[in-house]
Structures are given as structure tokens and as C-alpha cells.
């Protein structure tokens, strides 16, 4: 009593019971004083109360909030199932078997062997060896060296320098 009059704190005011008793941490007491009880911060309680829980940065939540326009694509967006559901073409849809099923021409159908089977002309048919075999004149047969060898007059034989030499 004497200490209270002098403005000093009596010993009983510093006791553990007076400072922070166990009942002060009870939910009922926290509600009474206006503090938030610990369970109020749980994810389940926040969802039930319509609040935003801490995991709001998850992919699902970002999609809901349309934050993906700014950021990148989540991994599952590249999955085959998701691509089929959204109407995109998954990677295996570009395979030769799938293209044949869909009626498209796979890459190997444009191969030399396949073109020969179909009777089409491939690039190598224009090569010199093939032209000689067929009887056509390859490009190098028209060269000056070849003309001299055969006995024809190459273009450089008609040059001014050549005419001076003769």
C-alpha cells in the first residue's frame, strides 16, 4: 500500500500470475480483449471466413486471379491432357503415325526413297551422275575445259587475248 502511494510498483504486481497468466492466452480471453486467437490464422478458418490464406501464391490461385498474364506458364499447362482439353496440339500429335491418321503428310513421306516409290522426281535426279546415266548433258559438260577436251571452241577462245595469240 505504501509503494502504491509513492508511485512504485509493489512486488505482487510483478508476479507471473498478474503479468501473463495462462488464462490470458485462452480463446475466450483473447476475444474479450480483441486479440486474434491462434486458430483464427489457420488455413481452414480463413477459407471458411472468406479470407485469403497464405498459400494464395499457388498456381491455382494465380490462375483464378489471372495473375498469369504477367508471369509465366505453370508446368501443368504444358501437359498433354491440358493441351488436349484446351484444343492445342500436344507434341506427339506431330508424329508420323498421328499425321497419317489425320490425313496429313509426315516428314518421311518427302524423303528420296518415298519419292522414288511414288514415281516423283527428287533433287538428286538433277545431279551430274544421274544426268549422265539418263543421257542428258550435266552442267560441267558445258565448261570450257570440257569443250577443249572434246574439240569444241570454248567462249574464251573468242576473247581478244586469244585472238592476238593466234
Amino acid 135: pLDDT? 74
pLDDT-derived band at 155 (thresholds 50, 70, 90) equals low
Q: Are 140 and 133 in contact (CB under 8 A)?
A: no
pLDDT-derived band at 33 (thresholds 50, 70, 90) equals confident
State pLDDT tens for residues 94-126. Answer: 676 677 777 776 666 667 667 767 776 656 666
End-to-end CA distance of the chain: 142
Amino acid 152: pLDDT? 75
d(C-alpha 69, C-alpha 162), whole Å? 74
User: Computed over its alpha carbons, how large is the radius of gyration of the chain?
Assistant: 45
C-alpha angle 28-33-34 in degrees, rounded to nearest 5: 95
Is pTM, for the whole model, over 0.75?
A: no
State pLDDT tens for residues 2-20. Answer: 555 666 666 655 555 555 5
State pLDDT tens for residues 36-80. Answer: 666 666 766 676 676 766 655 566 666 666 555 555 566 666 677
Amino acid at each position: 500500500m505504501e509503494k502504491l502511494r509513492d508511485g512504485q510498483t509493489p512486488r505482487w504486481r510483478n508476479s507471473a500470475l498478474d503479468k501473463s497468466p495462462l488464462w490470458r492466452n485462452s480463446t475466450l480471453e483473447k476475444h474479450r480483449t480483441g486479440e486474434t486467437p491462434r486458430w483464427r490464422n489457420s488455413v481452414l478458418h480463413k477459407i471458411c471466413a472468406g479470407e485469403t490464406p497464405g498459400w494464395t501464391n499457388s498456381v491455382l490461385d494465380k490462375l483464378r486471379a489471372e495473375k498469369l498474364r504477367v508471369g509465366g506458364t505453370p508446368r501443368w499447362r504444358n501437359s498433354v491432357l491440358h493441351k488436349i482439353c484446351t484444343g492445342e496440339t500436344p507434341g506427339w500429335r506431330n508424329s508420323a503415325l498421328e499425321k497419317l491418321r489425320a490425313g496429313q503428310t509426315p516428314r518421311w513421306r518427302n524423303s528420296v526413297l518415298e519419292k522414288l516409290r511414288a514415281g516423283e522426281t527428287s533433287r538428286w535426279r538433277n545431279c551430274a551422275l544421274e544426268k549422265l546415266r539418263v543421257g542428258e548433258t550435266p552442267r560441267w559438260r558445258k565448261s570450257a575445259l570440257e569443250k577443249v577436251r572434246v574439240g569444241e571452241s570454248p567462249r574464251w577462245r573468242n576473247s581478244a587475248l586469244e585472238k592476238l595469240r593466234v
